Chain A
């Protein structure tokens, strides 16, 4: 596993994308959802992607996973077109954590089966080595070994999201796309998952695309923030600069809509 030392970069270069709308009787003009978007994620760093529903966030996630090809521009992994890689090779490089831990895990498989599946599909190891790897990964994401034989329905939302993160990491990817991974969770669980993501990043040098509409959360976890509006990048920069010195009116609007409890004397002591 010397891959950890290697730096990887996944880049969208000047990407445009349109969904063709094939109707039953006619073909309506394609709906263009991305206009010349540039995003670059490298090992060990986090890009926070913010914007409202319909701004094109999910389409960017799809392009980064190679589940869609851009109409214009390129998606490059370490300088090579992502589409040139086989599906299996892509899966070993880029993985995804979804928003809803209630619908993204197979309800009829045990946690051990869910976590071993990526290895099995890729023909990695034998049953014994796979289950050893599953145990190692469960430990890494803070799941007790007893959960291996449980089903998703027996787990809380936070525990399920840990399973989803563990599954994404089974193939040792370099880049992980996290689509609103904490917005379905309580704040107490959200902080646990954010801590886990940061810890895994430090240990494994992961690069994250962190999609969220909560700018306070994004400011906490991201190095760079990219603000998307109507499929266009309207602002980008270092996380702190974008949050505290936003240049675009839309960014200011998003920050203004981020509601935080009063920052009284009590909360100020938090970091002490």
Chain B
């Protein structure tokens, strides 16, 4: 599928949160694109703007938050020009979303079957029977045995892993082109997580699905991402082909995130792990220069001045010290 335009194109996305007279700029000038059949991952610590970025694509931001965007195109179509009606036709049908906590995103008073069939009948002119058949097929497809029985059950009767499978099936009911998943496996056991990731990859291959996958887990991300965005305090601090970013990170923040993870075999067991001192800034007042400078071990005075992003091919990073290719700001410090 070599279409001239990407499935999703985001350019100059900003999210502001208004609290009284104060305005916080919590997502600043974020841009990325998602190709059909490919996965874009957004990583970063809590409070870095990952979820707000995802929600703003579908215009699902909380009331206090305001989106400004230079360009937002889905399959070539300008999403900012759509009215509420057109947008809700898109949501759940051509763009589907999976949230972190399946217990709070399923309705407790309706059966799984009702909730699955409702999605399809809301968007497509199909009979109840046809919708039921599709729900049954998809539950089986996401690896649920005795699907017929599960359709008649309520969410509380299912385990966390089963509920998340139901959420995936629901997201696929209308055959979407883009799937946005916000930490869909965080609450699950590792073995269940591994199964669900395999399942998502299979489904992606089968349907040519584009995916935006949000996670704080760099290990997970390394298994599924084609493209990777690292966010910090509302900025994209590093982005590019996932393997390039993970194998040769250029921004000190990405480098430190990777170093925090204990790796059996290369980290000395019971030794002190590297960590990032301090916390994510509150963004009450705009920060001049690099937002990470306060926590960065190699920051210097020029980091406090405004600067432009650097790039090596498609690999971009927001750090003045990562200038020349094949130098790593942190490596210079520790060698």
Contacts and interface: CB of A to CB of B under 8 A. Distances in A.
Contact of A259 (B223, B256, B270, B279): B223
B247 A264 contact: yes
Nearest to B261: A187
B222 A261 contact: yes
A266 B334 CA distance: 12
A244 B265 contact: yes
Interface stretch (A13-21, A22-30, A170-178, A192-200): A192-200
A189 B46 CA distance: 11
Contacts of B262: 191, 194, 216-217, 219-221
Contacts of A243: 264
A257 B191 contact: yes
A126 interface: no
Interface string B172-209: 00000000000000000111111000000000000000
A1 interface: no
A203 to B, nearest CB: 13
A239 B264 CA distance: 10
Contact of A216 (B220, B246, B264): B264
Contacts of A194: 262, 273
Contacts of A190: 260
A254 B190 contact: yes
A220 B273 contact: yes
A8 interface: no
B193 A257 contact: yes
A270 B259 CA distance: 7
Contacts, number: 136
Interface residues of A, number: 47
B223 A271 contact: no
A194 B260 CA distance: 10
B273 A191 contact: yes
Given A253-B191, A266-B247, A266-B328, A259 B217 contact: yes
A52 interface: yes
Contacts of A199: 272
B268 A271 contact: yes
B258 to A, nearest CB: 6
Contacts of B191: 52, 253-254, 257
B45 A216 contact: no
Contacts of A264: 246-248
A156 B47 CA distance: 10
Contacts of B248: 264, 266
Q: Which of A199, A219, A243 has the most CB of B within 10 A?
A: A219
Contacts of A191: 260-262, 273-275
Nearest to A187: B260
Interface of A: 52-53, 156-158, 186-192, 194-195, 198-199, 213-217, 219-221, 239-240, 243-244, 253-254, 256-272
The 5 A-B pairs with the shortest beta carbon distances in the complex, nearest first, are A259-B219, A220-B262, A191-B273, A257-B194, A257-B190
